[in-house]
């Protein structure tokens, strides 16, 4: 399972490829997604509601309104990246860190996650 350091490295990769804004730091996103770790263990990615797009949108819906839509869009993409990275690490335990990040990024793009937007309700 990827550590926080590897998740942040993937965020950096997203930034380098223009997927997220340069001043968005994703640590709080990873904290939210991995909160269920103590409860569910390594299988958290299959069991935690916050490890789904719906769960992340719910989380963002309840963030302060003062947070910009752009920031929430970045958080959305970072969260989706987190899920793809967890999934890829599970499916391809043979990959080294750099190859894992590249493979996860390819999958992220194939799914169109770089074009996901967060829009406020109402
Ligand atoms: Zn996770």
Q: What letter would DSSP give residue 23?
A: T
Looking at the predicted structure, is the pLDDT value of residue 110 above 90? yes
At 52-62, the pLDDT tens digits run: 999 999 999 99
Q: How far is the CA of 104 from the centre of ligand 1 (A)?
A: 14
For residue 72, the CA-to-ligand 1 centroid distance in Å is 19
Q: What integer pLDDT is reported at residue 65 of this predicted model? A: 85
Nearest to 82 by CA among 7, 6, 5: 7
Cα of 50 from ligand 1 centre, angstroms: 9
pLDDT value, residue 38: 85
Instruction: Please state whether the predicted TM-score (pTM) of the whole model is above 0.75.
Output: yes
Distance CA 101, CA 121 (A): 33
How far does the centroid of ligand 1 lie from the alpha carbon of residue 82, in Å?
Answer: 6
CB 6 within 8 A of CB 97: yes
What's the 59 CA to ligand 1 centre distance in angstroms?
15
Per-residue pLDDT of 27-50, as tens digits, reads 999 999 998 888 888 788 888 999
Average pLDDT across the chain, whole number: 92
Distance 93 CA to ligand 1 centre (A): 15
Is residue 122 very low, low, confident or very high in pLDDT (cuts 50, 70, 90)? low
Say how many Å lie between the CA of residue 52 and the centre of ligand 1.
10
Task: Note whether 60 and 118 are within 8 A (CB).
Answer: yes
Rg for the chain, CA atoms, rounded:
14
């Amino acid at each position: 399972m990827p550590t926080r350091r590897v998740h942040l490295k993937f965020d950096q990769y997203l930034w380098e490829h223009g997927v997220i804004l340069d001043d968005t730091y994703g640590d709080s996103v990873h904290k939210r997604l991995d909160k269920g770790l103590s409860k569910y263990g390594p299988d958290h990615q299959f069991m935690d509601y916050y490890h789904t797009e719906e769960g992340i949108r719910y989380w963002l819906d309840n963030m302060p309104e003062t947070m910009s839509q752009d920031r929430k869009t970045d958080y959305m993409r970072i969260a989706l990246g987190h899920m793809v990275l967890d999934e890829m690490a599970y499916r391809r335990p043979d990959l080294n860190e750099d190859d894992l990040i590249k493979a996860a990024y390819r999958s992220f793009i194939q799914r169109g996650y770089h074009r996901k937007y967060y829009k406020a309700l109402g």
